[in-house]
Amino acid sequence: MQKMLISTPIYYVNDAPHLGHAYTTFIADMLKKHHSLRAKEVFFLTGTDEHGQKIALSANKHGLSPLEYATKISQVFRDEWDFLKIDYDHFVRTTDKAHEQAVQHAFDFMLQKGDIYKGIYEGDYCVSCESFATNSTICPDCNRPTTKVAEESYFFRLSAYQDKLLDFYEKHPNAILPLSRRNEVVSFIKQGLYDLSITRTSFSWGIALPKHLNEPRHVVYVWLDALLNYVSSLGYGTDNAKMGHFNHALHIVGKDILRFHAIYWVAFLMSLELPLFKQLCVHGWWTIEGVKMSKSIGNVLNAKDLASIYGIEALRYFLLREAPLGQDGDFSAQALVRRFNADLSNTLGNLIQRLFGLLKPFGGKLESTHTLEFYAPLYAEWQAQLESLEPYLCDLQLHRYLEELWRVFEACNATIAKEQPWALAKTNPQKAMALLSLIATFLAKSAFYLYPVLPESTAKLAKWLHVSLTSENFKAFMQKDFLLPALELAPIEALYPKLDEAQATPQESPKDPPKEDHTIQFEDFTKLDIQVGTIIKAERVAKSDKLLCLKIDFGGRVRQILSGIAKHYTPESLEGKQVCALVNLPPRKMLGLVSEGMVLSASDAGGLKLITPFSTAENGAKIG
């Protein structure tokens, strides 16, 4: 049995998990389930990265020790993955004793080999990214200011591996997916690699060097520490118990940490004389209605909260289906609801219910005696469609994998509409039964491809069809002449009941008691930034009969605000008028336009009226 490792990055514990973390982890979980059904022994690894200056600073802000703070946030990640039913095999923490021993073992090995030497680092350092930026006052990765540092450091001879890295990527063109990311890495390497500082002396929150070196001031720099989790979790440096899984390693990472995995990690592995990963799969980011997730604008979404509203599988399906690998995806509640209703409720859910309904004239009993006699060409066509899916998944084109799988369900529905088995049941019952057997057989076959994406509902579908989703059965069911044996189908609950469009706006749980007291504290009011501004331009928003797009001068800062007042005011009547607006709301995208605030208004029996100052005020004047 082939062994393999599937890993997410270990997530940094400077904050709680968000939608992007869940996306990465859903991909890895899907791949584990897929390869397990193909009779592979999969070790699924995830965890948390807990060392570094940024963690020490965050802990200090919260009045905790670095370990206490890291433990608290690490548990939040573990709890979230458990809630989302992620089937990981090991949750590593870089504060684990076994990981510490592995890092020290690796450091010693590379030092003895001559790949590590002591020197002085002088240059620019980004605390946020925990990375060095050569002669740059701005970090090239996060655009934050860097800090000048000068300290004693141990260095890894990264420059010595430049040609070996280029040779590896030339011989293994599919080692990074998508290929555009491989080209990006190769281009970066060709610009020339500098030796890498791998220890720090300016802070102490990290893994100490091996004791025999007698270097108590040095701690291992976070990237050498963090990347070694992929082998420390398999026993490297201790018992090597599961290192066999690393012979076929598949890493899932976001594009922001591509360079560390594609250059540093490969060079470390070469130095340690360990196998190189088989593939590095690099995905994009998730924006929220066109705006990048950011704490500063308050639009960071948590997967657990979304799953509580829409369901785990609805969220899982949307994220895996929506974005091509490597490209950024855009999340909106409306898009999730529409995708779920169209694909899962209408196409697949209705197909399952139709099959059961059409079997009623036969007492719910299914038999396949004449299936190939009547429908051999359709069987061959649908079989070929299922067999075409594997390359899409191997290339991590998950959106295409699901799109092509859904063609089978669409074909089943189209064939029912064309053949009209409800009429055939009266005139040619053998042919009607043959069609229903064909549909049931391909629902059963498809369940093996659907399970990695929708494990809970697919398990229910398989049980209804008397199918056990095992690797042995996968091999048997995918034979080109396989048909479901005679069986009787009981009633089945709707697996994908439609989501209400009203759910597209997250609301307070109905389980929460109604809040009668709406009083707020003065401190709450002071958080509102309400300013006076002059409308310098107003125009209607295309495809909307309610929205006006207003350009408002707030005293040196012109903001664009969308307001649903088009039925009460004409654009011409507003230009030059002063209004009051709340300006510290997070930006929101509507119909492709970004709105940076909310114009205040009042409504009564006479209609809607904008709130304006009693007399002219300076633009930008604050209302308090």
- Domain boundaries of the chain, sorted by first residue: 3-283, 332-488, 522-623
137/146 Cα distance (integer angstroms) = 5
Name, in order, each residue with C-beta under 8 angstroms of 239's C-beta and a sequence gap of 6 or more: none
- pLDDT score recorded for residue 274: 98
SS3 content of the chain, % helix, strand, coil (to 5): 45, 20, 35
Gyration radius (Cα) of the chain, Å: 29
Q: Which tokens in the block code for residue 41?
A: 């022994």
Q: Which tokens in the block code for residue 470?
A: 């095992």
Q: Which residues pair with 237 in a beta bridge?
A: none
492/354 Cα distance (integer angstroms) = 11
Q: How many residues does the chain have?
A: 624
Identify the top-confidence range among 144-158, 284-298, 398-412, 511-525: 398-412
Shortest CA distance to 340 belongs to which of 354, 324, 319, 323? 319
For residues 309-325, average pLDDT:
95
Q: Does domain 522-623 have CATH number 2.60.120.380?
A: no
The predicted-structure confidence for 60-90, as pLDDT tens digits, reads as follows 999 999 999 999 999 999 999 999 999 999 9
For residues 219-230, average pLDDT:
94
- Structural fold of domain 3-283: Rossmann fold (3.40.50)
The sign of the dihedral angle between the CA atoms of 447, 453, 457, 463 is: positive
Residue 311, Ramachandran bin (φ over 0: left; ψ between -120 and 50: alpha; else beta): left
Q: Give the predicted TM-score (pTM) of the model.
A: 0.79
Given the candidates 3.30.460.80, 1.10.730.10, 3.40.50.10260, 3.40.640.10, the CATH classification of the domain at 332-488 is 1.10.730.10
The predicted-structure confidence for 525-554, as pLDDT tens digits, reads as follows 778 889 999 999 999 988 777 789 999 998
Identify the top-confidence range among 327-336, 453-462, 490-499: 453-462
Tell me the pLDDT band of 503, cut-offs 50, 70 and 90.
low
Residue list for the binding site for Zn(2+):
126, 129, 139, 142
Query: Over pLDDT 70: what percentage of the chain?
Result: 95
Residue list for the binding site:
126, 129, 139, 142
Q: Which residues pair with 190 in a beta bridge?
A: none
